[in-house]
């Protein structure tokens, strides 16, 4: 069995040899997803990449099927969504899976981002990998916004109105961009038609950037909870079966949460107002975006200036891309950074509080609290990240990934790469 | 460029210049071609001629509107409020000191001459486009449910985040009881 985990792919049959010499795709899959060395100390935070891939697939499949029944027009969209819910076989399942799938996609991406920020996965040599992740996140936000407008309910219509008005705040070119998005003098039939087209386009762009993201990952290798790179074969285990099974197991567990929402709380994350057809004469009394945009919505409303709020909101996302250069510490994992770790948890709490504030009306104490939290959000990137790295004394690091698992000085025989994990299947890995 | 190291020995010098010409001509052709492809793609997203044609001026009959009432009309898909001010509101609005306004605007600039009781404004908040609710807020005007902006009885912004007053669409009185929206002084709006 030990030869199973050999590094290089060797085609066995004549057909496999013939094919491999013409298109070496089997070898690429083997080196990327079978023999690929994975740090042996990865925890469950590292399974969210696989969960996200699963959700990209779920969203594309349910979306393609929904598009067979949906009509992207201002007069027919709302009715066609009800048609899907009432008349189409399993239409309710397709739609609830797609709507809740978007929310689960964001749950998973926020855990994934938390992992990257806590364990310092954005630091050298993974800057490009990380920035590609920020690009995917931006594309996800655009896709989710466009998708939310398509049922053409009250929240859809007013969400589209508010967001396109945000873009109009951009100096000089704002009005032109707004007019090109609307295709008219206001949000209307041409708008929903092109939003549907773009909503269908962007997921394929996400898929393309995901390929680059995984490619960059397989060049630099995965980070791990210690932040120490793989130094020897004993620090790693082969991707298959270790990471494969763990990823699939975590994905299945996550699907239980997904299924619970679909079958028991399908509308919990939505808004009742979106079951009222779009009416351009009446704004819902309390207009809020979907939960995954709430922290940014709170930042937008924290500033009593239109352009200022818009600039801060976009900056709040874009500043993520600068983290590799704002953080001055050489230690990746916050596990070994006693001061930064405390600041980080405050930052995580502030982000959640901003989300809560985004769901509240823009009045009195909520506005003041939003302003304080917005200040802290930016201070984390612009003050804490650069300064703490300069003054902090990190904790003692383990000598290697293996040592962090087995304790200092202990040695284990076998395991790891590339001799074959089957040699000691009981070893913790 | 004529002496690039890539030119193999013994090649006549004019070969280099021919290659330069090919290189520049191809590059220029590509740039023009890319522009020629991009232009119709972008232009097709602009409002089409049917949408523009549907944006012709509309007439609004004012006679059924009572004192203090606000009605909604749509022109070019945009919501417009037509409001008949009460005598008290006219008096209050004339009395507002300009210093208190975010975007100072005299009462006379908000209404048409000789028609002090009639206000015609776009009905979308100048912040992010929500519809402010009439007869709410602290200024006898509108309050926006989305982000808390408030406007007074003649649509002047009194509390942010809205940066400017509710804009006034082009309109003109045809008679004392009829206005035409989309036309000002006999000239159609662009």
Q: A328 and A223 in one domain?
A: no
Asked if the bond preceding A418 is cis, omega within 30° of 0, the reply is yes
- Specify if A5 maps to a domain: no
The pLDDT of residue A421: 41
Residues A203 and A340 placed together within one structural domain of the fold:
no
**What is the per-residue pLDDT for B22?**
92
- Poorest-confidence range of A61-65, A111-115, A142-146, B183-187? B183-187
Name the band, by pLDDT with cuts 50, 70 and 90, for residue A428: very low
Q: Among candidates B162, B138, B163, B164, which has minimal Cα distance to B152?
A: B138
Domain boundary at A258, A285, A312, which?
A285
CATH number at residue A359: 1.10.287.980
Q: Are residues A239 and A297 in the same domain?
A: no
Residue B185 pLDDT: 65
* Chain B 89-108, residues with CB within 8 Å of chain A CB atoms: none
Note whether A243 and A120 are same-domain residues: yes
Residues A267 and A294 in one domain: no
A59: domain range?
A: 28-285
Q: Per the domain annotation, does A237 fall within a domain?
A: yes
Best of A154, A189, A201, A280 to substitute, by most chain B Cβ atoms within 10 angstroms, is: A280
Greater model confidence, B54 or A257: A257
Which of B51, B76, B147 is opposite residue A362, by nearest beta carbon? B147
Interchain proximity B77–A301, CB inside 8 Å: no
Kindly report each contact of residues A337-344 with a partner whose C-beta sits within 8 Å and lies 24 or more positions away, as own/partner.
A337/A388, A337/A392, A337/A394, A337/A395, A338/A392, A338/A394, A338/A395, A339/A388, A339/A391, A339/A392, A340/A384, A340/A388, A340/A389, A340/A392, A343/A380, A343/A384, A343/A388, A344/A117, A344/A118, A344/A380
| A278 and A321, same domain (yes or no) | no
Do A281 and A292 belong to one domain?
Answer: no
- For chain B, domain boundaries: 1-46, 51-188
List the single residue in A with minimal CA-CA distance to B73: A281
Indicate the CATH number for domain B51-188. Answer: 2.102.10.10
Query: Is residue A301 less than 8 Å (CB to CB) from chain B?
Result: yes
Q: Give residue-wise pLDDT tens across range A186-217.
A: 899 999 999 999 999 999 999 999 999 999 99
**Average pLDDT for B144-172:** 87
Contact call for residues A199 and A150 (beta carbons, < 8 A) = yes
Tell me whether residue A17 is in a domain. Answer: no
**Catalytically active residues of B, by annotation:** 147
ipTM over 0.90: no
If one compares B85 and A110, the residue with the highest pLDDT of the two is A110
Task: For residue A190, give how far its alpha carbon lies from the nearest alpha carbon of chain B (Å).
Answer: 8
Distance from the Cα of A203 to chain B's closest Cα (Å) equals: 21
In a domain, residue A144? The reply is yes
Work out how many domains chain A is built from and give that number: 2
Residue range A387-413, pLDDT digits in tens = 999 999 999 999 899 998 887 765 555
Contact call for A285 and B72, based on CB within 8 A:
no
A272 and A306, same domain (yes or no): no
Angle at A78 between CA A75 and CA A80, to 5 degrees: 95
């Amino acid at each position: 069995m030990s030869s199973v985990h050999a590094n290089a792919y060797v085609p066995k049959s004549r057909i496999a040899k013939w094919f491999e010499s013409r298109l070496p795709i089997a070898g690429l899959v083997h080196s990327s997803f079978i023999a690929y060395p994975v740090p042996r100390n990865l925890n469950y935070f590292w399974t969210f990449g696989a969960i996200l891939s699963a959700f990209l697939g779920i969203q594309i499949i349910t979306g393609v099927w929904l598009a067979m029944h949906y009509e992207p027009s201002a007069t027919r969209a709302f009715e066609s969504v009800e048609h899907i819910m009432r008349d189409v076989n399993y239409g309710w399942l397709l739609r609830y899976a797609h709507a809740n799938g978007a929310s689960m996609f964001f749950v998973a991406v926020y855990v994934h981002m938390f992992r990257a920020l806590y364990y310092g996965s954005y630091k050298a040599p993974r800057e490009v990998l990380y920035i590609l992740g920020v690009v995917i996140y931006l594309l996800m936000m655009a896709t989710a916004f466009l998708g939310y407008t398509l049922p053409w309910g009250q929240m859809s219509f007013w969400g589209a109105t508010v967001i396109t008005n945000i873009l109009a705040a951009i100096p000089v070119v704002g009005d032109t961009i707004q007019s090109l998005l609307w295709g008219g003098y206001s949000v209307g039939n041409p708008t929903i038609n092109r939003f549907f087209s773009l909503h269908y386009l962007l997921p394929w762009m996400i898929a393309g950037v995901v390929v680059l993201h995984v490619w960059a990952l397989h060049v630099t290798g995965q980070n791990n909870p210690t932040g120490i790179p793989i130094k020897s074969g004993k620090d790693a285990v082969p991707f298959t079966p270790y990471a494969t099974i763990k990823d699939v197991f975590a994905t299945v567990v996550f699907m239980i949460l997904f299924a619970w929402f679909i079958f028991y709380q399908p509308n919990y994350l939505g808004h009742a107002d979106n079951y009222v057809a779009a009416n351009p004469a009446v704004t819902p009394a309390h207009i809020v975006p979907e939960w995954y945009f709430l922290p940014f919505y709170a930042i937008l409303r924290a500033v009593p200036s239109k352009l200022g709020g818009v600039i801060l909101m976009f900056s709040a996302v874009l500043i993520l891309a600068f983290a590799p250069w704002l953080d001055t510490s050489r230690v990746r994992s916050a596990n070994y950074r006693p001061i930064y770790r405390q600041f980080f948890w405050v930052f995580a709490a502030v982000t959640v509080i901003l989300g809560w504030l985004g769901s509240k009306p823009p009045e009195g104490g909520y506005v003041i609290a939003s302003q304080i939290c917005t200040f802290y959000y930016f201070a984390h990137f612009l003050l804490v990240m650069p300064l703490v790295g300069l003054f902090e004394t990190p904790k003692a690091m383990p000598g290697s990934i293996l040592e962090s698992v087995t304790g200092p000085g202990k040695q284990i025989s076998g395991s790891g790469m590339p001799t074959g994990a089957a040699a000691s299947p009981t070893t913790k890995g | 460029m004529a002496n690039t190291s890539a030119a193999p020995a013994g090649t006549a010098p004019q070969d280099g210049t021919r290659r330069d010409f090919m290189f520049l001509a191809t590059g220029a052709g590509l740039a023009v071609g890319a522009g020629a492809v991009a232009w119709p793609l972008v232009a097709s997203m602009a409002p089409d001629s049917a949408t523009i044609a549907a944006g012709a001026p509309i007439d609004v009959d004012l006679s059924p509107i009572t004192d203090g009432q606000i009605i909604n009309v749509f022109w070019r898909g945009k919501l417009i409020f037509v409001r008949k001010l009460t005598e008290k509101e006219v008096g209050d609005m004339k009395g507002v000191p300009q210093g208190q306004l975010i975007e100072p605007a005299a009462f006379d600039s908000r209404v048409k001459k000789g028609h002090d009781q009639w206000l015609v404004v776009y009905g979308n908040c100048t912040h992010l486009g929500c519809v402010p609710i009439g007869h709410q807020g602290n200024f006898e005007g509108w309050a926006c449910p989305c982000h808390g902006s408030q406007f007074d009885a003649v649509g002047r912004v009194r509390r942010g985040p809205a940066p400017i007053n509710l804009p006034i669409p082009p309109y003109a009185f045809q008679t004392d009881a009829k206005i035409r929206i989309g036309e000002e002084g006999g000239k159609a709006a662009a």
